[in-house]
Amino acid sequence: MAQRKGKRITRRRALKAGAQGLALTSAIGIAPKYLISPARATGLASGMTGGPTGFDGAERFQYNEGMSEGRAVEAAKKLKADGKAGKITFLLTQGAVGQFEQPFPDGAPTVRSVWEAETGIPVEIIPAGEVEIIPKVMQDITTGSGTYDIFTGPWNAVGDKVDANGIVNLDEFVAKHRPDWGDSERGTPTPEMENLLYKYNGSYYTISIDGDFQTWVYRKDLFEDSDNIKQFEDTYGWTLGHPRTWKEVDQIAEFFHGKGVPQCNLIGPFWGLAIFYARFAGQDNPNFYYFDEEGNPNLDTDLGIKALEEHVNLKNYSARDALSWSWAEAYGAMGQAEGLMMSTYTNLRKFNDRYNADGTPATPATGKLGSFLPPGNTFGDDLIRRSCLYYNINAEISAQSEHAEAAYLFMQWASSTRTFSWMSGNPGGYFDPFQKANFAEPLVQQTYHADHCAIIEETIARSAPTINFAGQGAFDTKLDEQIQAALVGDKTPAEAMKKAAKDWRRIIKKRGETRMIDNMNKSRANWPAIIDKA
Amino acid sequence: MASNPQTLTLAQQGAKLGRWMTLPTQLLLVFIFAFPGLMIIYVSLSWWGPLEGVPWYYAYESLNWFENYIYLFEDERLWGSIWRTLLIMLVVVPVEFFLGLGLAILFVDNFTGKRVFYSILLMPMMIVPAVAGYMFYILFQSNGPVNQLLSLITGFEIDILWLSETDNAFVAIMIADIWQWTPLMFLILLAGLLGVPEDQLKAATLLGANWGQKFLRIALPKMRIVMIIALVIRAVEAFKLFDVMYVMTKGGPGVATETISVYVYKVTFMELEWSYVSAIGFAILMFLTALGAIGIIILSNAQKKRLANVVD
Amino acid sequence: MMAGNRISFEVMRYTFIIAALAIFLIPIVWMTTLAFKPVAEWTTAISEITWLPKNPTLGNFEFIFTGQTDELIITMPNTATMPIIASLVIASLGTLIAVVVGTLGAYGVSRFQVGNNLPLSVLQLRLFPPMAVMIPVMMMWSYLALVDTFWGLSLIYGIVTLPFSFWLMKTFFDEVPREIEEAALVEGCSQWRVFYRVTLPMVKAPLATTVLFVFILNWSDYVIALLLTRKDWVTIPVYMNSLNSAMTGEMYGSKAAIGLIAAIPPVVLGIIIQKHLVRGLTFGALKQ
């Protein structure tokens, strides 16, 4: 245990980063008493029956039978007593294991150990790389081997797993154990988001443990530099600041690209889809859907082609190798303070805008990053700002699990607002906050920065879904290829979109038109409704 | 069969031993061909895939006969990827062959440092291909070591976009493949060269043959089979090129570097079209079997000719 | 005249070899230095790239063997120890299967006019992109409970590399002159003894080459291991590919560290085999 010490986020370090955090925290209305809470003795707060202990603020993550976590624990204990619960095998994406296995903060137990201690049901975590997880899950489902009780994987793949009969419909469990996922005070920022993150085709199937809402991060130091502001105003006639439209994003990108600072948006295969979907969704008021009501792809419409033209234009201001970059390169460039801005997973600032245990800046970008709301398009007085939900690790219960209910209860416990707030503050993994309670949590604000949290919450409210119907992999791959063909200049945007639409029609036909159209129209209810003032 | 083993002729004994010796190979082949072969053919005649939600043996429920095979012909990505694979093969295999042969010739006789040089030369093929892929990805960034070294050597500012431009990415992948597999060519060809009888070479030297004549007249004919084998092995492996290039480009930019293996991988694990993959697999097998059969005929003719030469 | 030629040949030889070595070594040198670089020096997608580690660290090795290191704020539950053992066991066993079965089969076909179907069938086995047949193999392995076992993976490796050992060995057996074997037979040796005692020693060099090549193929496979393992017998390439983190994306430094370690067994094997290759020089003499 001793050797782990250097790795924990120490209180000392947290306080150093906290001065600015404190001011912002108060500004957005979090009771500051949490931050100055007295050192507590270990043990549960009064009225609480479970939860982590042993560190400052642990009481914020404790619960009793009246709360989602407590209900899960009590029900699990009962299952265990009835002999209906055994070891839970948990296939987990590699990058998130730390959040279950690494103590946070100092003196805290691990998330897994709290569950095991309270319920007596052991959890075995089997890590798998992100690229391997779909092959592993499909291997398990199609061979009927039932190795895992819980799958994790991209939210987008939920439709595939439902159609493969690989996962359990959770409606019954949800009704019985009442998780607080959609709680108006503590749960998802909007009711649409609960439907989006947990339901498929109207039923509960999947449990969100991540918040991959693409959020813009930029170089505050460059935007606030007085020379830059002046020069920019002379050139473009408006004051350099948070862009509101894609056009303004392009102007800012053009300006700084001329100064040798490129945008870091990922535009290569897979990664580039997210920003394209976000741009696409904001092409119409209130939303530009991927399909019309008869199930025809909107890709090759005028607006769809315009979206791709704009997307291709992005390349002009991006880093030279952007087409081949992955996460490592883009995060690296932002972290080395060599990039301008990017729309990406929210943990960019968690990892790059932080201090080492000894108080020194962890990267050259520490303290230089800010966030802004997704840009959009204006329609008269309306401004449609759109981001999107892309990838996002969700958990599902395997249809072959012998202890489906116990496995579900573990996930309900881990994904409920108290446990998840505790977990998402932990820098040891990449599960990002997305619940109201997470953003209000001081530990999360320390890791993610309070100003960033406020922006993320607003970004979530403006996020469109990406594709998660059965056949998602095929939809995304076919579109991605055409986008790439347009980016490298092999095809014009119009040609590319035409081919992508053709490919999409073929997939729809193959998967069954009636069913697909039903899925599409049902998913429309999950699109954001927020309209900003232009 | 003869009842008494002592009365067996040598040929009969040999045939008996031969059957025993080839038995394990035969068994393994039956084991690996029977079930997967039947399953591939069966599934390829349906729409079955994981998204159908039933085990594979229910594929008859979505039987479509030859729709997958018909789609093979209109699938431009498939043909594109086959074409790209062949192109890579046609470039890298000869380059590797001549580099390997050149190096092998230099290593035939003894010289100072031979063992050390030899060990280092073999190293590229000992690096796990996926790791090599990551190294090349890093080396080929536009500000990366390759461009910096080129700038240093040439004296010009070189910043080629290796991985983000179609043609360059193609070249980068070929370089990586040549790097990794020239050592194998070298190894096989050297083994072949070492098999050329020394006394024949000595005799030729005494007769005043120069180095080039010795090589062309004596070594080359002896090595023909080894050369064919080396070329076939590399061609077969180049056809399946996957790890290095998947890491380097993921088939991109666009589909510029998508080979048949990358395409099949994407269809399998991203698009989950398993019946279509089966059709592709079966079609490739049929096609390559035809090619292989032709190759074997050529090879056995070459062998016969060679044996005839020996008799002379 | 002769001496002058000799010297210019030597100059050419060294120039060519050293040039080739320099190029061949670039990626290997990069991998080696990368293995000792801290996170900030991993990427080359920034303006100041690092050639030699500025702040050399053993952190990458510490991370893959203990799952944590001071520099990274993340941990990893599975370490490289088991994958290294798994790879050693599986690649060796797979090589053993392929080489033994392949050599026997090749000799049988080469000498006794049996198994005439084998040359083509064996070739078919290798012509295939493994990806295209992995789904049925995955099903079959699952039914036979071979998934995530060392014997299951060794078996498939033995099968997919069998074509190489078969074809390489067949080629070399075809080259061995029959006269020596016939002489031994006349002296009363059994056919098996002739194979084992006379022919096999003559093809030591090709056999060594075959072993090395087959081992390398098994050692470096990614796709098959990805589909036929789950957790207990994950091999090095699969482990290496799972080395990515939220903090850094692909963990290049740790990948280089495991890559460096993974190069050791084939290199050692290569050195052992080198001895036999030198001995192979006598191979030609025997033929006459």
Task: Render A344-375 in DSSP notation, one character per residue.
Answer: E-THHHHHHS-B-TTSSBSSTTTT-EEEEPPP
Distance from the A111 Cα atom to the nearest Cα atom in chain B, whole angstroms: 32
Q: Provide φ and ψ at A291, rounded to 5°.
A: -130, 150
To the nearest whole percent, how much of chain A has pLDDT over 90?
A: 72
Partner B contacted by C22 (CB < 8 A):
no
Task: Say how many Å lie between the first and final Cα of chain B, rounded.
Answer: 37
Distance CA B139, CA B129 (A): 15
Beta bridge partners of A127: A92
Residue A284 to chain C, least CA–CA distance (Å):
34
Report pLDDT for A113: 95
Interface test with B, best of C11, C13, C39, C133 (most B CBs within 10 A): C133
- The Cα of A471 is separated from the nearest Cα of chain B by a number of Å equal to 7
Q: Which residues contact C1 (CB under 8 A, 6 or more apart)?
A: none
CATH superfamily of B75-272: MetI-like (1.10.3720.10)
Is position C111 within any domain? yes
Entry pTM: 0.88
- Taking residue B105's Cβ as centre, other Cβ atoms within 10 Å add up to 17
Instruction: Please report the pLDDT score of residue A31 as a whole number.
Output: 37
Contacts of B53 in chain A (CB under 8 A): 163-165
pLDDT of residue C3: 61
The enclosing domain of C279 has a CATH number of 1.10.3720.10
Domain contains C73: no
pLDDT, mean of residues B268-287: 91
Whole-angstrom distance, CA of residue A162 vs CA of residue B304 = 60
Closest CA to C130 of B237, A127, A403, A519: B237
What is the chain C residue with the closest CA to B311?
A: C177
Give the residue among A465, C6, C252, C286 at the shortest CA–CA distance from B133: C252
Q: Do B190 and C277 touch (CB under 8 A)?
A: yes
**Contact criterion met (CB below 8 Å) for B11 and C185:** no
What are the per-10-residue average pLDDT scores of chain C (288 residues)?
Answer: 71 89 93 92 84 91 88 80 96 97 94 86 82 87 92 96 90 82 84 88 84 92 89 91 78 93 92 66 38
**Tell me: the pLDDT tens digits for B64-90?**
989 999 999 989 889 999 999 999 999
CB-defined contacts A:C, below 8 A: 115
> Is residue C179 one of the residues assigned to a domain?
yes
- pLDDT for the residue C105: 95
C180 in the same domain as C281 = yes
Q: Which of A25-34, A93-102, A391-400 shows the lowest mean pLDDT across its residues?
A: A25-34
Separation CA B286–CA C96 (nearest Å)? 30
pLDDT mean across residues, chain B: 86
Q: How far is C136 from chain A (nearest CA, A)?
A: 10
Pick from C68, C74, C244: CB nearest A130: C244
Among residues of chain B, what percentage have pLDDT more than 90? 41
User: Tell me, what's the pLDDT at A289?
Assistant: 96
- C116 and C211 in a common domain: yes
Chain A residues within 8 A of C227 when measuring between CB atoms: 135, 139
Tabulate helix, strand, coil % of chain A (nearest 5). Answer: 50, 15, 40
CB contact under 8 A, A328 and C46: no
Instruction: Give tens-digit pLDDT for A314-357.
Output: 999 999 888 888 888 898 899 989 999 999 999 999 888 988 88
How sure is the predictor about A419, in pLDDT bands with cuts at 50, 70 and 90?
very high
Instruction: Quote the CA–CA distance of B41 and B279 in Å, as a whole number.
Output: 7
pLDDT over 50 at A8, yes or no: no
CA distance C78 to chain B (A): 19
Where on the phi/psi map is residue B165: left (φ > 0), alpha (ψ -120 to 50), or beta? beta
Residue A40 is predicted with a pLDDT of 40
Assess whether C7 and C102 both reside in one domain.
no
CA distance A173 to B114: 71
Do C207 and C244 lie in a common domain?
A: yes
Q: Could you give the maximum distance between any two Cα atoms of chain B, in Å?
A: 83
From B190, which residue of chain C is nearest by alpha-carbon distance?
C277
Whole-angstrom distance, CA of residue C254 vs CA of residue C63: 7
Burial of A321 (0-12, 13-18, 19+ CB in 10 A): buried
Closest chain C residue to the Cα of A324, Cα to Cα: C45
Residue C173 with chain B: CB contacts under 8 Å: none
Instruction: Tell me which H or E stretch contains C107.
Output: helix C81-112
* In contact, C253 and C39? CB cutoff 8 Å: yes
Whether the CB of C226 is below 8 Å from some CB of chain A: the reply is yes
- Interface contact C147, partner A, CB < 8 A: yes
Q: Which residues of B touch A329 (CB under 8 A)?
A: 141
Q: Which residue has the higher pLDDT, B63 or C287?
A: B63
Select from B165, B252, B269 the Cβ nearest to the Cβ of A484: B252
CA-angle at A337, arms to B151 and A344, nearest 5°: 110
Same domain membership, residue C86 and residue C60: no
Contact status, residue A432 vs residue A346, Cβ threshold 8 Å: yes
Q: Do B195 and C284 touch (CB under 8 A)?
A: yes
C236: contact with B, CB 8 A cutoff: yes
pLDDT given for residue B206 in this prediction: 75
* Domain boundary residue, one of C66, C90, C106: C66
Asked if residue C76 belongs to a domain, the reply is no
Query: From CA B138, how far away is CA B148, in angstroms rounded?
Result: 12
Kindly state the helix (H) or strand (E) to which residue A397 belongs, with its residue range: strand A393-397
In a domain? residue C204:
yes
Mean pLDDT (chain A) is: 89
* CA neighbor of A265 nearest in space, from A323, A338, A335: A323
Residue of A nearest to B142 (CA): A321
**For residue A20, is pLDDT > 50?**
no
Pair type for strands A123-128 and A88-93: parallel
Strand duo A382-385 + A532-533: pairing: antiparallel
Residue A328 has what pLDDT? Answer: 84
What is the tens place of the pLDDT at every residue in A135-194? 889 989 998 888 999 999 999 999 999 999 999 999 999 999 999 999 999 999 988 899
CA distance A65 to A50: 9
Contacts of B271 in chain A (CB under 8 A): 471, 473-474, 477-478
C-alpha distance from A329 to closest chain B C-alpha (Å)? 10
Taking the C-alpha atoms of residue A390 and residue A432, their distance in angstroms, rounded to an integer, is 13
Question: Can you list the alpha helix ranges (DSSP code H) found in A315-425?
Answer: 327-335, 347-352, 404-415, 417-425
Same domain, C25 and C133: no
Among candidates A88, B195, B139, which has minimal Cα distance to C45? B139
Q: Which residue has the tokens 């050139």?
A: A235
d(CA A222, CA B111) in angstroms, rounded, equals 61
Distance from CA of C259 to the nearest CA of B (A): 6
> How close does chain C come to B22, measured CA to CA in Å?
4
> Given an 8 Å threshold on Cβ–Cβ distance, is B51 in contact with A164?
yes
Chain C residues with beta carbon closer than 8 angstroms to that of B18:
108-109, 111-115
Look up residue C16 and give its two tokens: 């060519």
Domain presence at residue C72: no
Whether residues C32 and C164 share a domain: the answer is no
Specify if C275 maps to a domain. Answer: yes
* 3-class state of residue A167 by DSSP: strand
pLDDT above 50 for A1: no
What does the pLDDT read at residue B191? 77
Q: Hey, are the CB atoms on B196 and C192 less than 8 Å from each other?
A: no
The residue segments making up the domain with residue C52 are 2-66
Count other C-beta atoms under 10 Å from residue A227's C-beta. 7
User: DSSP labels for C173-192?
Assistant: HHHS-HHHHHHHHHTT--HH
pLDDT at residue A377 is higher than 80:
yes
* A5, pLDDT greater than 70: no
3-state secondary structure at position A489: coil
Do C35 and C131 lie in one domain? The reply is no
pLDDT at A431: 92
Q: Which domains does chain A have, with CATH numbers?
A: 7-212+391-465 (3.40.190.10), 215-389+467-533 (3.40.190.10)
Nearest to A101 among C42, C75, C252 (CB): C75
Total tally of structural domains belonging to chain C: 2
Answer yes or no: are the C-beta atoms of C53 and C33 closer than 8 Å: yes
Helix boundaries (H) for chain B: 10-44, 67-74, 76-106, 114-122, 129-139, 145-154, 166-194, 198-206, 211-213, 220-239, 243-249, 260-269, 274-311
Residue A404: per-residue pLDDT: 96
Q: Which of A94, A141, A346 to mutate to test the interface with C (most CBs of C within 10 A)?
A: A94
| In a shared domain, residues C101 and C237 | yes
Same domain for C140 and C10? Answer: no
pLDDT at residue number B306: 67
Cβ–Cβ under 8 Å, residues C64 and C72:
no
Query: Does a structural domain hold residue C32?
Result: yes
Final residue of a structural domain among C43, C66, C89: C66
Residues 6 or more apart whose Cβ sits within 8 Å of residue B287 = none
